[in-house]
A and B are shown apart, each in its own frame.
Chain A
Amino acid sequence: MTNYGLKVSQSGFDVKTTAKENLVYSSKYNTLKFFASGSGSQLVPAATAPFGPSGTATVTIAHDLGYTPAFIVFCTSIWRSNDKFSPYAFKSIGAISPDGGQYAVDTANLYIHLYNGDPTGDRTIFYRYHIYYNELA
């Protein structure tokens, strides 16, 4: 294999000989490439009953890439303060009464499905998302 391209090693490592995990960058390897990012908030209605079906709301972000891209979403939970973001949903009572966010993508949109398992009132959930050019295939 020809040996050409751009490599940058971490401080203290010889770029000509160091292992790939000690590189800051190598043009041999693809990277995540930002397509779009954003943030917002969504009011989610209260659950209908204790341990009953959660209130739900869906935020739809159009990406129009024509393929399913990689993405990451962080959101708050009704059980934590609004300065605490996580990519992982807080699943309360199985699928009956989930909380937080469940995230999906298709060839047109990113879907942020938000849930409120609290029957005492509507709650606002905050979210941030990154969509990458990288295709899931």
Chain B
Amino acid sequence: MTNYGIKISKPGFDVKTAAVKDQVFNSEANSLKIWMTGSTNISVSEFTGFEGTGIGDVDIAHNLGYAPFYLCYFKLKHASKLWFQDSLDTSMLTGNFITGSAYSNSTNLHLHVGVNGDNLAAFTAVGYYLIFIDKAIV
């Protein structure tokens, strides 16, 4: 294999001999590349105990043409914390259940907030996202 390209090693490692895991950058190893980032309000309906209530959905168009890799975080009911996708907002742990989740397809990143609890009023969640150029599918 030819030995050319760019390598940057971590402090304390010789870039000429360091293993890839001890390098900060290696042009032979792919890096996640951020395509777009942002945030969006998600209007969550009142949960009344019936199916189809206590939910909110938003599509973020990415125009990549394939389903991309992504990371999402959600501001739910807690005053300051942003929750990782699929984490429960633990400030609601008294029989109430609020979580944010997501999926990507070839056109959108879809953000979803679901509520299951006791007469929770409608509220506005916020979804934060990083969409990568890198494909979620092979």
Interface of A with B (CB < 8 Å)? 6, 8, 10, 20-21, 23-26, 29-32, 53, 56, 68, 70-73, 87-89, 91, 94-96, 98, 101-107, 111, 113, 134, 136-137
Contact = CB atoms under 8 A, between A and B. Distances in A.
Interface stretch (B15-23, B47-55, B105-113, B128-136): B128-136
B6 A71 contact: no
Contact of B97 (A31, A94, A103, A137): A94
27 contacts: A6-B6, A8-B6, A8-B27, A21-B135, A24-B27, A24-B28, A24-B29, A29-B133, A31-B34, A53-B93, A72-B84, A87-B84, A89-B87, A94-B116, A95-B88, A95-B97, A102-B83, A102-B84, A102-B87, A102-B88, A102-B90, A104-B89, A104-B90, A105-B73, A105-B84, A107-B80, A113-B87
B80 A20 contact: no
Interface of B: 5-6, 25, 27-35, 37-39, 64, 66, 71, 73, 78, 80-84, 86-90, 92-97, 99, 116-117, 128, 130, 133-135
A25 B39 contact: no
Contacts of A10: 30
Question: Can you list the 9 inter-chain pairs with the closest CB atoms, starting with the nearest?
Answer: A104-B81, A102-B87, A29-B33, A95-B97, A103-B84, A136-B128, A30-B34, A8-B27, A106-B80
Nearest to A32: B32
A70 B129 CA distance: 9
Contact of B66 (A8, A21, A89): A21
B71 to A, nearest CB: 6
Given A21-B64, A32-B130, A88-B86, 4 more contacts: A8-B5, A8-B6, A103-B84, A104-B89
A105 B72 CA distance: 12
A95 B39 contact: no
B81 A96 contact: no
B111 to A, nearest CB: 13
A136 B38 CA distance: 7
Contacts of A70: 71, 73, 130
Contacts of B30: 10, 24-25
A20 B71 contact: no
Contacts of A89: 86-88
B83 A136 contact: no
A72 B73 CA distance: 10
B32 A31 contact: yes
Contacts of B83: 102-104
Given A25-B27, A95-B95, A73 B84 contact: yes
